C-alpha cells in the first residue's frame, strides 16, 4: 500500500494565495481544456503523463499542492511527487477544483 498523502482545504490554499504567498508549487492535473476554462491563480498545468516525465528531474519548491477535479486523482499525483520529487511537503487539495469553485462562490455570496 502507498502511504496516504496530506490534504489541504481549498480555503487554506485561497488564504495563502491571498497573502501573496507564492513559495509553493501549485499544480493542476486536470485536462488542458478544463485548465483553460479556469484555474487557481498561479497554478501550473501538467497532465499526469507530463508529471511522470518531469517529477524526478525537476527542482520542486519545498511545498507542493496538487489538485484535480474532485480531489481523487490528485491523491495519486501527490504520492508520485512525494515518492520521486525533492519537495518536503506534498498535499492534495481536498475536493479539487469543484470545492475551490464552491468556496470562491460562497465567499462572493457572503460579500
Partner 1 sequence: MPSIDDVTDAPDELSDEEAESLFEQADEVQDMMGEVCPYPQVEAKKGLQGLDAGDLLVQETDHVPCTENVPRAVGDDADARVWRSGDGVYRIYLEKQ
* Catalytic annotation, residues: 68
Output 16 or 45, the one with its CB closest to partner 1. 45
> Residue 12: CA atoms inside 13 Å, Cβ hemisphere, count?
12
- Interface ranges with partner 1 (CB under 8 A): 1-2, 30-31, 48, 51-53, 55-56, 68-70, 72-73, 75-77, 79-80, 83-84
Closest CB to partner 1 among 56 and 107? 56
- Please report how close the Cβ of residue 7 comes to partner 1 at its closest, in angstroms: 15
> How is residue 106 written as a grid cell?
460562497
Q: How far is the CB of 15 from partner 1 (least distance, A)?
A: 26
Q: DSSP readout, 38-57?
A: ---TTPEE--HHHHHHHTTT
Shortest Å distance, C-beta 103 to partner 1: 18
Q: For residue 95, what are the CA distances in angstroms to 22, 58, 67, 83? A: 21, 26, 8, 22
Amino acid at each position: 500500500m502507498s502511504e496516504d498523502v496530506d490534504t489541504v482545504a481549498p480555503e487554506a490554499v485561497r488564504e495563502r494565495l491571498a497573502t501573496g504567498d507564492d513559495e509553493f508549487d501549485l499544480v493542476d492535473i486536470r485536462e488542458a481544456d478544463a485548465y483553460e476554462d479556469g484555474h487557481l491563480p498561479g497554478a501550473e498545468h501538467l497532465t499526469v503523463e507530463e508529471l511522470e516525465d518531469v517529477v524526478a528531474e525537476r527542482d520542486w519548491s519545498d511545498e507542493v499542492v496538487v489538485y484535480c477535479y474532485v480531489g481523487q486523482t490528485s491523491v495519486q499525483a501527490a504520492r508520485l511527487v512525494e515518492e520521486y520529487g525533492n519537495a518536503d511537503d506534498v498535499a492534495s487539495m481536498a475536493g479539487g477544483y469543484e470545492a475551490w469553485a464552491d468556496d470562491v462562490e460562497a465567499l462572493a455570496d457572503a460579500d
